[in-house]
Amino acid sequence: MPRSHLLCAALLLALLPAVATARSVAAPKTVAPGCASPTQKVDEKGFVQIGGIEQWVTVKGDRCGSPVILFLSGGPGNPLSPLSDSMYGAWARDFVLVQWDQRGAGMTYGRSPPAEDSMLSLQQMSDDGAELAAYLAQRFGQRKVILWGSSWGSILGVHLAKAHPELFHAYLGTSQLVDFRENQAVSYRKLLGLARAAGDTAALEVLDGVGAPPWTDPRSFGKVRRVIRRYEAKVSTPPPASWQPAAEYTTAKALADYEAGEEYSFLSFVGLHGDGMASQVDLPKLGTEFEIPMFFVEGAQDLLATPDVAQRYYESLKAPQKGLVLLEHAGHDPNQDVIDAEYKLLKERILPLVR
């Protein structure tokens, strides 16, 4: 399979300028109810008209009336839909799980490929996410949905939480990115220190070769990311071997669409001269007061979205409730420790807010 999507890497982090003010979301057109009974199972997948294009959405839950979780996966360009059943299948007992192949990614890329000269924008993707959340709430008879985001999804999630609190019960972020320039600088310094302490000449050659960020060569990020993964693998628990993609995502077309979407998103992210969307990511500029509860799960071994940056951001936030869990044996990519900690927060802190 393509180089990173078995772990849903969520590492490319792209975006356009921050949206600091709330934007209204038009009520979705009347949609058919998703539940004939709140106790029936739900298992749907298909294309939904979002933001003027068809986008791939899957919905699964043991009880149609359970609280809805909207997953914002990483990249952009690394949808979680292929791995959702194997990673989050047990959550369907308590929640309705919604996976979304975002604009320019996965199945959505295959059905609605972007124009060659187009680029992803935070504004458009935030609008897409708000439209989808409103659609889900109406379709499944919910007042609001729960918002989950990882890596790039954590950036999109904070934007949505800030701009559209009326749509969400709470936000749960993991591998939280905050300010791309700060995240990148801190990440590089920590990685350089580890490589020097280990006498790792191969890693030092890569790091010295790209130099300190910000980078103007679009290949630099990928080179450093490979070193990060190698170091995180030494100290974090690996993902279970049972995390495998569902069969429909392993066809030749699905794999080709996934990889093409990943590459398109990466170019949107880095830009040709270090001037891509990620260079403008700065969540504190949105403001640090939130109208919904904000929860975070962070890997202590995360060398991309380092936990010190995430914790400083967390401590600056004012919200009705908030909480942070730091996991000793987790890095940037998900593992079972992350899944278990997220589920515990959902059950103990977020579910009571829904009822």
Nearest to 54, CA basis, from 126, 104, 115: 104
Look up the domain containing 52 and give its range.
5-179+240-354
State yes or no: pLDDT of 237 exceeds 60.
yes
Q: Which position has the higher pLDDT, 178 or 3?
A: 178
Residues 161 and 148 in one domain: yes
* Residue 80 neighbours by CB distance under 10 Å: 26
Share the mean pLDDT of the chain.
90
State yes or no: pLDDT of 154 exceeds 80.
yes
End-to-end CA distance of the chain: 41
Check: pTM over 0.85? Answer yes or no: yes
Last residue of a domain, one of 232, 265, 293: 232
Q: Output the domain CATH number for residue 91.
A: 3.40.50.1820
* Structural domain total, the chain: 2
Residues 13 and 124 in one domain: yes
Residues 284 and 216 in one domain: no
Residues 188 and 169 in one domain: no
Q: Which position has the higher pLDDT, 355 or 65?
A: 65
State yes or no: pLDDT of 218 exceeds 90.
no
What's the rounded mean pLDDT across residues 56-83? 96
Residues 214 and 110 in one domain: no
Residues 320 and 217 in one domain: no
Residues 282 and 220 in one domain: no
From 118-132, 163-177, 190-204, 266-280, the region with the lowest mean pLDDT: 266-280
Nearest to 33, CA basis, from 145, 146, 138: 138
Residues 128 and 25 in one domain: yes
Residues 174 and 193 in one domain: no
Q: What is the pLDDT at residue 28?
A: 58
The tens digit of pLDDT for each residue in 169-188 reads: 999 999 999 999 999 999 99
What's the rounded mean pLDDT across residues 80-96? 97
Residues 136 and 10 in one domain: yes
Cβ-contact 146, 346 below 8 angstroms:
yes
Q: What is the percent of the chain where pLDDT is above 70?
A: 91
